[in-house]
Amino acid sequence: MSHYVDVHVGQKIRRRRWMTDMTQKQLADAVGIKFQQIQKYETGANRVSASRLFEISQALSVPVSFFFESIEGSLDGKNPAIEPATDENTVSADLFQGKEAIELLNCYYRWPEEQRRRLFELTKSLTKDSFADAA
C-alpha cells in the first residue's frame, strides 16, 4: 500500500510534467531512468529517493519543495481527511489538477493579454447569467 506522501509527490510530478508539456519518456531520459519508473513514481507505486527527486526537480525546473506544497498530514502517517467543497458555487481544487485544465490554462496564457481579458469578462458574464437562471 502506498503512503499518501508518495502518492502526493507522484501527482505533483505528473502535473508539473503536464504543465511543461513533457512526456514520461522525455522526463525519464532527462534523469537517466526508464519511463516505466516515472509511471511508478507518478502513481505512488514506488517511492522517489531524495537524490532522484532532486534530479526530477531540475528536469522540471522547480525547487524540490514544489513536490511537498499543499500537503498536510498527521504524525501517524495516515492520509488526512479531505473536506469536500460544500458551497455549490465553489469548484473543487481537484478540477485544476487534471491534464485538460492544465492544457487549457497553458493555451489561455499564450493568447495576447487583450484577448485573455475579453474572454475572462465573457466567461464571468455567462457564469453570472447561468446562476441567475438557476435561482
3-state DSSP assignment of residue 112? coil
Which helix (DSSP H) or strand (DSSP E) does residue 84 occupy?
none
**Per-residue pLDDT for 39 more than 50?**
yes
CB 59 within 8 A of CB 19: no
Q: What is the pLDDT of residues 93-131, one digit of tens each?
A: 556 667 787 788 778 888 888 988 898 899 888 877 655
Percentage with pLDDT > 70 across the chain: 76
User: Which is higher by pLDDT, 49 or 126?
Assistant: 49
Closest CA to 25 of 42, 47, 11: 42
The answer for residues whose C-beta is within 8 angstroms of residue 14's C-beta and 6 or more apart is 42
User: Which three-class secondary structure state does DSSP give residue 101?
Assistant: helix
Domain boundaries, the chain: 4-68, 93-134
The answer to whether 24 and 35 have CB atoms below 8 angstroms apart is: yes
Q: What is the pLDDT of residue 5?
A: 92
Q: How large a percentage of the chain has pLDDT more than 90?
A: 44
CATH code for the part of the protein at 4-68: 1.10.260.40
- The span from the CA of 105 to the CA of 99, in Å, is 10
Mean pLDDT on 5-29: 93
